[in-house]
A and B are shown apart, each in its own frame.
Chain A
Amino acid sequence: DAGITQSPRHKVTETGTPVTLRCHQTENHRYMYWYRQDPGHGLRLIHYSYGVKDTDKGEVSDGYSVSRSKTEDFLLTLESATSSQTSVYFCAISESMGNEQFFGPGTRLTVL
């Protein structure tokens, strides 16, 4: 497996609280991505990064922010969690946009 870890792996939180998910890679890949996966929707891109401090929005970015201060870490923040953000979140990395993506193990987030 590519060296990608996500933390926490599981989290239960309440509506309105801030939540930060962390993705850490040891592959030195330039691109990092955050997806969410929901039944009936498949994987949807939230945000991605193409370098340190370089990020851009994906398909479902509302309510989420990201930061990348180091090559190896990509943080996803829910400023004020809502029940609609209950999902499984996957981080992925790739050497370039045209290459295959390597996925982390996922974080299951439940917002009550």
Chain B
Amino acid sequence: SQKIEQNSEALNIQEGKTATLTCNYTNYSPAYLQWYRQDPGRGPVFLLLIRENEKEKRKERLKVTFDTTLKQSLFHITASQPADSATYLCALAHGSGNTGKLIFGQGTTLQVKP
């Protein structure tokens, strides 16, 4: 069966450290993968998109990798801050090319302690 998995346990790290979140999937061949941030009581906010032919994408303190062989994406936040505390969702495109609907993982909650 098709699955997209994110670590359901909260990730607790110290301020200034690098947070690494994992998104694994099975039985999909996504053309691209997106990461979103969601704060309590609010809608998700788009962060980064990475395509199947890209190994890595960066935006300020954020870095995403996409390994289609391992069927895995890693999301890194360097020099983490308490304001980075939130739930992070990965979403992959299910379907061909740019016509794919997004399938979301359940999200991983990150808590950055000062």
Interface residues on B, range: 20 to 34
Total cross-chain contacts (CB, 8 A): 55
Contact A45-B93, Cβ < 8 Å, known A104-B43, A106-B43: no
Per-residue B-contact encoding for A7-43, CB less than 8 Å = 1, 0 else: 0000000000000000000000000000100001111
Q: Is A90 an interface residue (CB 8 A)?
A: yes
Q: Are B101 and A43 in contact (CB under 8 A)?
A: no
Q: Which residues of chain B are near A90, meaning CB under 8 Å?
A: 43-44
Majority-rule SS of A interface residues: loop
Contacting chain B: which of A66-74, A77-85, A95-103? Answer: A95-103
Chain A CB within 10 Å, residue with most, of B31, B34, B43, B44: B43
Q: Are B93 and A98 in contact (CB under 8 A)?
A: yes
- B interface residues (Cβ-Cβ under 8 A, vs A): 31-32, 34, 41-46, 49, 89, 91, 93, 95, 97-107
Q: Could you tell me if A43 and B44 are in contact, using CB atoms closer than 8 angstroms?
A: yes
Complex Cα distance A44/B104, Å? 7
Q: A48 to B94, alpha carbons, bound, how many Å?
A: 14
Complex CA–CA separation, A104 to B43 (angstroms): 6
**Complex contact B101–A97 (CB within 8 A):** yes
Whether A58 is near chain B, meaning CB under 8 Å from some CB there, is yes
Does residue A105 face the partner (Cβ distance < 8 Å to B)? yes
- A42, A97, A98: the one contacting B104 at CB < 8 Å is A42
Query: What are 27 sample pairs from A and B whose C-beta atoms fall under 8 A apart?
Result: A42-B89, A42-B105, A42-B106, A43-B44, A43-B104, A44-B104, A45-B101, A45-B102, A45-B103, A58-B101, A59-B101, A59-B103, A90-B44, A97-B95, A97-B99, A97-B100, A98-B31, A98-B98, A98-B100, A100-B34, A101-B34, A103-B44, A103-B45, A105-B42, A105-B43, A106-B42, A106-B43
